[in-house]
Amino acid sequence: MSRGKTFLVIFLFMLLLMPLVLGAEYGGENEYQAGHKLFAILGVAMIAVGVVYYALTKRKLIITHQTSSKWGFELKMEHPYMTVIGPVSPMTVHHFFTITGTLLVFVHFFSCSNYSGIAGTTGLGMAVVLVLLNIMGFIGRSINRSIISTAEVNDMESAKKYVNRYEKWKKIHIMLAVIFTVLLVIHLNAVL
Ligand code: HEM
Ligand code: HEM
């Protein structure tokens, strides 16, 4: 494993533990401390960045991505205006931001002890949807890899099968993202 990858794994592992540690520390009397809301806001913002960045680069809308071993950024006066150059694909950006965002949001989630009422149930609903989205994300990635590897060996029969599966997967993945957004709007409406 490269040094960058090792760092990434350790970083994600630390983030994984953070919700439990912070959630326990701030529980009880300080239930609704501002810190938790800040984690929620940061987490939701990261998830949004991860989704929007991927959606835009995929369609070459406003931003386009260019793979290279070095990082870089270019601005142009004509469409798509911005070119992000870097060693990681937009898909990796999507993974990194959505997973990290989910972990941050879970600090807020674990620090609340009341999962009833509109705020509580929408909060619980979002937590379930986020876990599903993250698990499903990995399933989609693996179907995606299967499409590429079967197409590479010219096994078009299998490739077609995986493409069909991927189309179905994508619908569910996007539907879950929409459900998350609806729950978030209701949640914010109830708490703010
Ligand atoms: C921008 C994002 C968010 C903001 C600003 C926010 C804000 C809040 C606030 C202010 C409360 C306290 C309600 C009260 O005092 O009665 C709350 C409660 C709660 N939130 Fe969030 N939240 C956000 C996202 C989320 C997400 C994504 C989840 C789930 C993964 C979640 C789960 C919960 C839960 C379970 C509660 C406890 C409900 C209760 O005690 O009544 N929140 N939220
Ligand atoms: C909070 C979590 C997540 C949300 C809200 C989310 C949302 C979305 C949305 C809205 C798209 C469609 C983008 C577009 O076509 O414009 C998408 C695509 C995708 N997501 Fe996620 N995602 C999340 C987490 C993940 C994770 C953790 C993974 C993988 C480990 C993942 C893998 C994918 C893949 C492979 C696609 C590509 C679909 C395609 O265009 O072919 N997602 N995601």
Give per-residue pLDDT as tens, 122-153. Answer: 999 999 999 999 999 999 999 999 999 999 99
Instruction: Residue 87: give the domain boundaries.
Output: 1-113
Q: Among 112, 181, 184, 185, which residue has the most ligand 1 atoms within 8 Å of its CB, making it the best to mutate?
A: 112
Please count the residues of the chain. 192
Closest ligand to C-alpha of residue 131 is 2
Strand partners, 85: 66, 72
Closest residue by Cα to atom 7, ligand 1, is: 37
Confidence class for position 3, pLDDT limits 50, 70, 90: low
pTM of the model: 0.85
d(CA 25, CA 35): 12
87-110 pLDDT, tens digit each:
999 999 999 999 999 999 999 999
| pLDDT average, residue stretch 54-67 | 94
Q: Is 109 in the same domain as 119?
A: no
Ligand 2 atom with the smallest distance to the CA of 180 is: 5
**CA angle (40 as vertex; 121, 112 as ends), nearest 5:** 45
What is the per-residue pLDDT for 35? 58
Q: Is 99 in the same domain as 127?
A: no
Q: Is 62 in the same domain as 133?
A: no
Residue given tokens 């300080």 in the structure block: 30
Structural domains counted in the chain: 2
Q: Is 107 in the same domain as 37?
A: yes
Question: What is the torsional sign of CA 113, 47, 118, 124?
Answer: negative
